[in-house]
Every structure is written in structure tokens, then in C-alpha cells.
Copies of this chain bind each other. A is one copy, B any other.
Amino acid sequence: MAWSRMPHSNNLKQRDKQSLKGIFFNAVHAPIGAHASFTLGARGRSGGLGLELGEPSLENIIIGLESRDRRCVEALPFMEPEQDDALKFDHEGVTFKWTPIEFFKDRAIRRVYHPGSDQWTAGDLCFTIHSQIAPAPDPLQSTDQEQKLAYCPAVIATIRVDNRQSDQPRRAIFGFRNERDPDNMRAIAEEGLVGVAAGQSRGFFCRHPGAVPARGFTFDWILSQTQPENLRQELGRNGALLLHVPAGKVETFTVAVCFYRGGQVTTGLATSYWYARYFSGLEAVACYAIAHAGSIKARSGEVHKLITQAGLNPAQEFQMIHAVQTYYASTQLLDCHGQPLWVVNEGEYRMMNTLDLTIDQAFYELKLNPWTVGNVLDFFASRYQYSDRLDTPAKPAGAAGGIAFTHDMGCRNHFSRPGYSTYERGGLTACFSYMSYEQLVNWTLCAVLYLHESGDEKWMETKIPVMKMSLTSLMRRDHPKSNERNGVMGFNGARTLGGREITTYDSLDASLGQACGNLYLAVKTWAAYLALRDVFLSYGFKAEATKADRQAVLAAASVVSSLKPDGSLPAIIGEDIPARIIPAIEGLVFPYVLGQYDELDEKGRFRAFIGALKSHLSAILKPGICLYPDGGWKLSSSRDNSWLSKIYLCQFVAREILDIRSGTVGPASDDAHMAWLLNDKNLSMAWSDQMRSGIAVGSRCYPRGVTSILWLRESRK
């Protein structure tokens, strides 16, 4: 079942008014690795062609059709009234009467949103956007043809006009207003290719005898021109394809929505887009995309099947589609001196390959294209690995430390210098402080996940030294003295300059923000030690395996020892704070994915640990603690601040690993989370992560929602 509905349907048991609202949300349609998106769906000037933005481009989009009586053009509601820039030239100008543009009635509009396609039907018009929700081929293991298709920086729009009920020819219109590019909007009509494009970077292209490119100050001006020659004048920011449909006919127009940036793209480290080796410019992209529109559309078939046949409930399915679609806008495949470099930008923040996102997105990427995970890990290891000492109570940098990894590799197309992230600073105890320990855990776990899913044993062989250094570093960061270790992070890195390390939950209070003693991190660390152990065993390093396993046992014991009489675990081990957190259970996902089922066995050697986490979740997943009134999950009891991607992950752990499937874990919470995404205030940013009482306050238009892919692993009991 696809997520689809009429605005006035009862799919989700919503009343008419609410469901009317329900179809007008932005969806992101992105090529793979082009850091670009055609975003559409929220009312008004909310979408557009975004190139290297962390948000929609906020440009008017017109998708319309002349009414049967040709009195007006009826359009989908994706534009706002336009400022007539002609007035900047002509202050004495008379006001003309242009062709009116009216919106289709809401009740006449139907939307069907699938993985890889988004279809709008209204009257005699059917408009569909197709993107590739599909594997990104490994450039070192695939043909040029495969890469050219997968990395072509375009999505396909098809416009079908059914003019059989009319005895008049009619025109459809598909255009955009260039608000972003200082270069001119231009009209292209060359060798059968027609198009409109903002400079060299963004455009709509078509090959159809009925398509004519048009330029002007406003769309109504364009529609009102009686002299065809005047459509080629080139003032104004608007460009559109006019699509002529004869009387009594059905016509389908295939339009390539194209993006391009040539030359050097990044600073700090100079790279270009990988696609630039296949395409010389926007027109080359267009020619290829139109010619291969069928293949582009077909590429999403597999994921489409995967998601829609998984038996998910409608709210789950919607969220998974929405998250996956949004993810691709952040992807960027770069050419670094001839080598591919995979980057996932961090949604609205646009930090590059943020490692605490990499690990969560790995569940998705390892399913579709494991090489991207290895690629990112390699680049972290070679450029963004560092070593620092540890602060002790007695002395700053008073103890030996070890390796760690940076939070990210850069921001907004700028690679930060080797060994340093864009984000981290010294002297802080909260947001923007260092995440050395968390990122060390993340890199380590991610590396083992990659090994497990890809089977790339040669790769791991080259990484064994790093794995060993990781173990050493984790243990020292637990405690410099071996006999005082408890398996949990105890010491901050010296780079904090007297501050304190934080976790990925950077804007939270100590419950999830503080790294030292953190329960979430403790369980993740437990998983990291187990993962390390298995790698060391496989490669014949018994002593290291033993150490790692012992650390896992210590970590589990520390967690168990902090259990409270009410069955819950405090957020900080060893500190008696009242905060309780859902992500305590997050780390359990790793042994599951790595197939270490014994370690998760409720009757196995970690039975007390697993039991404690299970009793913890049951104790806190209650209104007033870690549930919002609407049934949505609240990650920390002490703050109104929740991340959907982490909720998805923890839902999976709760249901599949801890076998908790009560109402609060199932469809009721899914409905609540879907309602968050469809809150009026969140509609323009597509899938967003960080929510306060259901309102996206950060991490908007974010890639991390693909953690939902874990749901496909669930046995549906």
C-alpha cells in the first residue's frame, strides 16, 4: 500500500479539515549525490529548485493548465502573488489585464506520494515527479553507464494533460521564478531541446514539439502574450515551458528538472562534483535525463517494493518515505583528485559527514550502498582522526589519552583543516563542545557494521591498527588507571580546554547532553566493546578481544548497578539525577545488526543488563515521563526536546529486541509522530528531526530519518 489519499478521505481517521491540510506538505525530490532538490508540496512560495541549500529555495513554481473555457489558468497552489519587476523599469506604465491564474479547488486535488514518485492530479492535469530512490553505485566497482545514470543531477517531471473533453487546444504551464541565482533566467531552444534555466545551474528542459520556452516578469504576463516573438524577450526572473495540447488529445510531456555546478566546488580541499566527469553542463544533463527518463523512473522500483510491501502501518510508511526522500537532498558525491568522496550534508546546518549522523544513516546506506560507509570511514581515518590527552581532576591534560574522530569534516562546501571539525570548540560544557568520545565510539561501531554488511575483510585488515588504538583510547577515557575502570566514559579530552564533552544530543541538558557517565553512551560503548571483541577474535588478536569483552562486562555491570527501585535507570550513571532517557536502549541495535544475538538474550550472560534496560523503558514510557500527551516519544524526561530519527531507532529496539509492543510503542506513537511532521509549522522543511512538542526547532530538512529503515527488519508479530 502506498501512502496516498484524497484530501477528504478518512485514511487516518482525521476530519475533513485536518486531512485537507494533510496533503500540502513539502516533499524533497533529489538526484543522488548532487546536493540538490526539487522541493514541492507545501502551499505558497515554499518549494523550488534548491542547489546546495539546507532548505527549500523558496521560489514560486507554476504547474497549471488552461481551464476548459480558457478563461483562466488553474494551477496547483505552489506560488504566491508575484511582484511585477516591470514596475522597476516603467513607473508610468499602465496596468494591464493579464490572464488570471487561479488555484485548483483543494477538493479537486489528489496526491499520491510513493518512494521515488509524487503525483498530483487535478482536473485534466496530472503532474508527477520521479527521483531515484536507489543504490548509489560504487564508482570503483561500476560501469560509466551505471554511474552516469545514477548520478545524473536531474529528476523527472511528467505532465499529462487529458484534453479529450475539450474541443479547444489548451496550454499547460510549468515554470519557476529565479530568486537565487544572480545570473539571468534564460530560454533555450536548440536542436529540439527547449528549456528555461537560471544561469548555468538550474532548469526545466523538454523535447516535445508542443513545448515552447517562455520568459517574463510574471507568469500571468507570460500567459497573456499574443506575440510568440515576445516570449523570447529576456527580462524578468520567470521562466516557464508552455505545453500545447491539441483539442481532443491526451499529451504527456517529460521534463527534466536539472541541476549543475561545474568546476571547483569545495574549499579547504578542492573537489568537483563526480557527475562533472560525465556532464559538461546543464544542457548535457538535460539531454541525457530526457533520453533516459524511463531508466530514471525505473530505478526506484526496488526500494518502492521494499517499503510498500513491508506491512508497515500508514503512518510508518509515510514517515519512511518522507525521511528517505529528504535524505537524498543532503547527499553529495565529490571527485577528490580522481577519487570518489561521499558526503552527506547535515540538513539545514550543512555540516559535512557529521559522524554522529553517519552511524545512524549507516543502517540505510549499508542496505543500499555499503561502499559509501567505507568511503566516509576511510576519510575520517585519514584526515579527521586525531589524538589528544585527557583532563584529570588534578591537572589539565594530565593523563595519556588516545585517538578520537572529529564531529564533522566541514560545512557548506568547505572542508575543515585536518584533525579539526567545523563544529567543536574548547572551553564549553554544552552545545558546540567536543564530542571526542562519542565520535570514537561511532567510528568504531560504524567500521564493524561496515565489515559485517559488506564482508570487506581486506578493508578491516587495513584498519586493525585503528581498531586497536580505538580500544586503548576508549579504555583510557574510561579511566587512566586500569583498576579503576567501569566500562563507562569517565574523562574528558584535553581539547575541551577545561570544558566537558557532549553527545550528539548537543542541545539537551545533562540527561543526554553530557558525555561523561552518560547512560546512552554507556550502552553504545558496551556495544562498541562487543563489536571490537569480535573483530579482534576474527583477526586473531586474543588479548585485545579479552580486554574488549571485559570492558563490555564492566559497562553492563555499571548500568545494572545504577538501577533504581522503580525499575528505571538514571540518565547519568553514578549521579543521582532525576532525568530518565529513552536512548538508554539505543546501543542494543548494534549487536542485533551484527548478529550477536546471544548478547541480547534475556537469559544470556547480559540478562541483568538487558532486563534492566527493558524494565527501564517500561518504567519511563509513560505520560509525564517520556511520553508526550499525544503519545509521541519524549527522549528525555527532563526536557521538551526530541529527535525523530532516534525515536525511530529506539522504537525498533523496543519492539524487535526488547519485545515491548504495547500501544505506546506501536501505531499510536507512529500516528503522533506523523502528525508532528504534518504540523502546519513543519510543512515546508519536509522531514525534520528535532522537535519541541511536535514543532521542528532544529535539524530541519534533515537526512537522519533513514534510521526508520530498521523497521523493515522487524518481524511483525
With A411-B234, A422-B234, A425-B227 known as contacts, the answer to whether A698 contacts B91 (CB < 8 A) is yes
Q: Does A191 contact B (CB under 8 A)?
A: no
* A-side interface residues, number (CB < 8 Å): 63
A339-359: contact bitstring with B at CB < 8 Å (1 yes, 0 no)?
000000000111100000000
Interface residue stretch chosen among A259-267, A375-383, A471-479, A702-710: A259-267
Give the residues in chain B near A229, CB-CB below 8 Å: 425-426, 497
Across the interface, do B692 and A412 meet the contact criterion of CB distance under 8 Å? no
Across the interface, do B698 and A89 meet the contact criterion of CB distance under 8 Å? yes
Interface residue stretch chosen among A180-188, A460-468, A552-560: A180-188
Most buried by B among A200, A410, A497: A200
Q: Among residues 405 to 462 in chain A, which have CB atoms less than 8 Å away from a CB atom of chain B?
A: 410-414, 416-417, 420, 422-427, 430-432
How many angstroms from the CA of A515 to the CA of B226 in the assembled complex? 24
Q: Among residues 54 to 106 in chain A, which have CB atoms less than 8 Å away from a CB atom of chain B?
A: 86, 88-94
Q: Does A39 contact B (CB under 8 A)?
A: no
A195-239: contact bitstring with B at CB < 8 Å (1 yes, 0 no)?
001011000000000000000000000000011011011110000
Q: Does A507 contact B (CB under 8 A)?
A: yes
Across the interface, do B234 and A348 meet the contact criterion of CB distance under 8 Å? no
How many angstroms from the CA of A413 to the CA of B229 in the assembled complex? 22
Across the interface, do B267 and A414 meet the contact criterion of CB distance under 8 Å? no
Q: Nearest chain B CB to A352's CB is how many angstroms away?
A: 10
Across the interface, do B431 and A184 meet the contact criterion of CB distance under 8 Å? no
The contact of A91 among B91, B267, B697, by CB within 8 Å, is B697
Q: Does A508 contact B (CB under 8 A)?
A: yes
Q: Among residues 476 to 528 in chain A, which have CB atoms less than 8 Å away from a CB atom of chain B?
A: 497, 506-509
Q: Nearest chain B CB to A629's CB is how many angstroms away?
A: 20
Across the interface, do B92 and A509 meet the contact criterion of CB distance under 8 Å? yes
The residue in chain B whose Cβ has the minimal distance to the Cβ of A416 is: B234
Across the interface, do B267 and A199 meet the contact criterion of CB distance under 8 Å? yes
Q: Does A53 contact B (CB under 8 A)?
A: yes
With A184-B267, A507-B93, A639-B92 known as contacts, the answer to whether A233 contacts B414 (CB < 8 A) is no
Q: Does A670 contact B (CB under 8 A)?
A: no
Q: Nearest chain B CB to A514's CB is how many angstroms away?
A: 13
Across the interface, do A507 and B262 meet the contact criterion of CB distance under 8 Å? no
Across the interface, do B182 and A89 meet the contact criterion of CB distance under 8 Å? no
Give the residues in chain B near A411, CB-CB below 8 Å: 184, 234-235
Across the interface, do B86 and A432 meet the contact criterion of CB distance under 8 Å? yes
Most buried by B among A262, A422, A424, A508: A422
Q: Among residues 21 to 70 in chain A, which have CB atoms less than 8 Å away from a CB atom of chain B?
A: 51-53
Across the interface, do B235 and A184 meet the contact criterion of CB distance under 8 Å? no
Q: Does A268 contact B (CB under 8 A)?
A: yes
Across the interface, do B432 and A200 meet the contact criterion of CB distance under 8 Å? no
Q: Does A641 contact B (CB under 8 A)?
A: yes
Question: What is the total number of copies of this protein in its complex?
Answer: 2
With A413-B199, A426-B230 known as contacts, the answer to whether A507 contacts B89 (CB < 8 A) is yes
Q: Among residues 255 to 278 in chain A, which have CB atoms less than 8 Å away from a CB atom of chain B?
A: 262-264, 267-268
With A91-B507, A186-B267 known as contacts, the answer to whether A423 contacts B227 (CB < 8 A) is no
Give the residues in chain B near A348, CB-CB below 8 Å: 88
With A86-B432, A91-B507, A413-B199 known as contacts, the answer to whether A427 contacts B226 (CB < 8 A) is yes
The contact of A413 among B93, B183, B430, by CB within 8 Å, is B183
Give the residues in chain B near A414, CB-CB below 8 Å: 183-184, 186, 199, 234
A564-594: contact bitstring with B at CB < 8 Å (1 yes, 0 no)?
0000000000000000000000000000000
The contact of A89 among B186, B412, B424, B432, by CB within 8 Å, is B432
Give the residues in chain B near A413, CB-CB below 8 Å: 182-184, 199
Across the interface, do B233 and A432 meet the contact criterion of CB distance under 8 Å? yes
A315-354: contact bitstring with B at CB < 8 Å (1 yes, 0 no)?
0000000000000000000000000000000001111000
Most buried by B among A227, A348, A410: A227
Q: Nearest chain B CB to A397's CB is how many angstroms away?
A: 14
Most buried by B among A86, A92, A226, A506: A92
Across the interface, do A90 and B267 meet the contact criterion of CB distance under 8 Å? no
How many angstroms from the CA of A347 to the CA of B679 in the assembled complex? 44
Q: Nearest chain B CB to A30's CB is how many angstroms away?
A: 16
Across the interface, do B423 and A92 meet the contact criterion of CB distance under 8 Å? no
The contact of A182 among B53, B263, B509, by CB within 8 Å, is B53
Give the residues in chain B near A267, CB-CB below 8 Å: 183-184, 186, 197, 199-200
How many angstroms from the CA of A194 to the CA of B92 in the assembled complex? 51
The contact of A92 among B90, B234, B430, by CB within 8 Å, is B430
How many angstroms from the CA of A426 to the CA of B698 in the assembled complex? 51
Q: Nearest chain B CB to A260's CB is how many angstroms away?
A: 11
What would 9 more interface pairs be, CB under 8 Å, given A184-B350, A233-B423, A235-B422? A52-B183, A90-B430, A90-B507, A92-B639, A92-B641, A199-B413, A229-B425, A233-B422, A234-B411
8 pairs, CB–CB < 8 Å, chain A vs chain B: A91-B641, A184-B410, A184-B422, A227-B426, A230-B426, A234-B416, A235-B351, A235-B432
> Which 5 residue pairs of A and B lie closest in terms of their CB atoms, listed nearest first?
A184-B412, A90-B431, A184-B414, A234-B422, A263-B263
